Amino acid sequence: MSGDPSLVNGRPLGDLIRQIVAEVLVIAPDEVQPGSALIRDLGAESIDFMDLVFRLEESLDIRIPYTRWQQFLRVRLAGADLSMAITPEVVQAFAEQEMAAR
Amino acid sequence: MAERVAITGAGAITPIGCGYEAFRDGLRAGCSAVKRITAFDASGLPTRIAAEIRDEADDLTRWVEPRKATKLMSRAALFGVAAAAMARKHAGLDRGAVDPCRLAVVMGAGGMGPTDLDLLATQAGAVIDAAQAGGSGGWDIPTFARLFAERTNPVATLRGLPNLAAAHVAIQNDARGPNATITTACCAGTQAIGEGLRLIQRGDADVVLAGGTDAGVNPVAVLGFSLLGTLSRRNEEPGRASRPFDRARDGFVIGEGAGAVVLERQTFAEARGARVLAELAGYGVSCDAYRITDERPDAEGAARAIGLTLSDAELAPAEVEYVNAHGTGTPMNDITETRALKLSLKAHAGKVPISSTKSMIGHLLAAAGAVELVAAVIAIREGFIPPTINLDVADDECDLDYVPNVARTAAPATALSTSFGFGGQNACLAIRRW
């Protein structure tokens, strides 16, 4: 995974995130739209975020302790209503942070 | 006079058919569903046959809403949810027809080992690598813990909890009343329905979704029961392997599936104009308190469970018109059960038709009692007694009428269904035409 950091195995990171979110929530990838709230719009529950982080680890081939996701939310979405605020873009920003920290 | 409890719906996921009608037709046809195992490569196992749910399994997700819920379900949980949904539809019990807080769930569940092959592979891999790290000192637990944590999706660990079948049934049906899981192995499905009966009699619920579910066709369960010496090894003749009461029987055959019934307080069922399939008339339960894998040779525990059921249902032995036997096909069970029926039904044991539907669908473990109660309901409703197939020459000590090989036309007004589990747990249910 050298070169453009927004590509994973030659694939745009945004595409990969959309696919992972769709797999986690057992919906079609085109149901995952920019700005979709994972909890309110797409029906995510707490266990789904553990599933999400696990799948990110596998797809990006890096270790991501779940606590890092929780810490990321505390900082990035401080005070926000999580049922509305966790979107594919937030997940992508987290993935980028973890890839950069590798 | 105490209110009666009505069975108003029945659902079944079985190797000879899914749904009330398909199961009924399979029971009448009297064919074996036992085949070579396809769920995994069983070539290294002493027993390589089972009764599987095949083509229908994928399709069962249509009973689940939203579809995402299936991700958190073990195979057994999916079977249980589908059977409960079928039973509810069969009962015509619409959403909103019952106060969610008065709707209870009791499920028999909890088979042996993980049914999720991916989780099993992950665990095995972590153990192997931890053993290498541990060298001659055995496997290194900290290494195992680290590898397991790295490699295991948390979702996979959730699927293994036995209480989640009942939880999923509750979520799917907005059942906010009492919710319980019975884990008495082969006795669980019968006990779950019996405890459902008690919930209504105690006034804790108006409607109960009760049943049992299991998915024992996986390497851990097949190997586990093999090691205990309980499984048939008639690998070359799968369709002939499950042969309860037959002289040549050599153990049971694992099956998988689920059964569920809708139980309703009499006045509740009448007020909504429900069609009643049968009365759930009695329940009895006991324990041998003897040995884990041996039944009491005098059959006292099993006989007492049957006797308690008769008293509970206010039935005289001579009023019993059909017995769906536990009838596993192990050398011990069939002899002890025959003895128990003679003790509890006295001379009538020689006159009543007794059959083991395990001869066709195998032993569904925690689901067995629930599916077999549905079979007993079918016998009362549909005018025939399901056969015990593969019964060519009965064991000398099995000398009752086991309805050999062909379904028998009859119109039983009452029936018993028996279940006996490893650990000595014994349970029995009685039903009566409404």
| pLDDT string in tens for chain B (434-residue length) | 578 999 999 999 999 999 999 999 999 999 999 999 999 999 989 999 999 998 776 689 999 998 899 999 999 999 999 999 999 999 999 989 999 999 999 999 986 566 677 778 888 888 888 888 888 778 888 888 888 888 888 888 888 889 999 999 999 999 999 999 999 999 999 999 999 999 999 999 999 999 999 999 999 899 999 998 999 999 999 999 999 999 999 999 999 999 999 999 999 999 999 999 999 999 999 999 998 888 888 999 999 999 999 999 999 999 999 999 999 999 999 999 999 999 999 999 999 999 999 999 999 999 999 999 999 999 999 999 999 999 999 999 999 999 999 999 999 999 999 999 888 999 999 999 99
B248 contacts chain A (CB < 8 A): no
Among B66, B67, B154, select the one facing A51 at the smallest CB separation.
B154
* Integer Cα distance of B13 and B396 in angstroms: 34
Helix axes A88-101, A66-76, angle to 10 degrees: 120
The residue whose two tokens read 């049968």 is B278
B70 contacts chain A (CB < 8 A): yes
Q: Give the predicted TM-score (pTM) of the model.
A: 0.94
Q: Which two tokens stand for residue B159?
A: 């699927």
One-letter amino acid identity for A90?
V
Q: Active-site residue B326, yes or no?
A: yes
Three-state SS string over chain A comes to CCCCCCEECCEEHHHHHHHHHHHHHCCCHHHCCCCCCCCCCCCCCHHHHHHHHHHHHHHHCCCCCHHHHHHHHHHHCCCCCHHHHCCHHHHHHHHHHHHHHC
Beta-bridged to residue B263, according to DSSP, are B7, B208
A26 contacts chain B (CB < 8 A): yes
- Return the ∠ at Cα B269 (arms to B208 and B98), rounded to 5°: 55
Catalytic residue among B18, B326, B398, B428: B326
**CB-count burial class (<10 Å; 0-12, 13-18, 19+) for B201:** middle
List of residues 6+ apart from B161 with CB closer than 8 A: none
Q: Kindly tell me the sign of the dihedral angle through the C-alpha atoms of B430, B306, B310, B109.
A: negative
* Integer Cα distance of B101 and A60 in angstroms: 45
Q: What is the pLDDT of residue B114?
A: 64
Let me know: does B34 contact B51? Beta carbons within 8 Å.
Answer: yes
* Integer Cα distance of B313 and B239 in angstroms: 37
Contact list in B for residue A27 (CB cut-off 8 A) is 67-68
Min distance A67 CA to chain B CA atoms (Å): 13
Q: What is the pLDDT of residue A2?
A: 46
